[in-house]
Amino acid sequence: MLCSLCLDRLDEGDKPACVISCPVEALDSGPLEELVRKYEGTKSVPGFPDPTVTRPSVVFKAKE
């Protein structure tokens, strides 16, 4: 089964089930601009390619 990002939940203004159920709050969802503002300062993650090359559509935030 493929992930549908819980589109039915998003349409109702709720977060996807994986975001709600993650016990360590490692997942988040929302408009990319909002996530970038929320996690400002997190531009790259060690071990991942440089974001200026990959131009990601997701934001990864390392656990501090």
pLDDT tens-digit readout, 3-12: 888 889 989 9
pLDDT, residue 21, reads 94
- The set of residues, in sequence order, having a beta carbon less than 8 Å from that of 32 and lying 6+ positions away, is 57, 58, 59
Is pLDDT above 70 for 56?
A: no
Closest-CA residue to 62 (of 32, 47, 49)? 47
15 vs 43, which has greater pLDDT? 15
Is pLDDT above 80 for 20?
A: yes
Mean pLDDT of the chain: 79
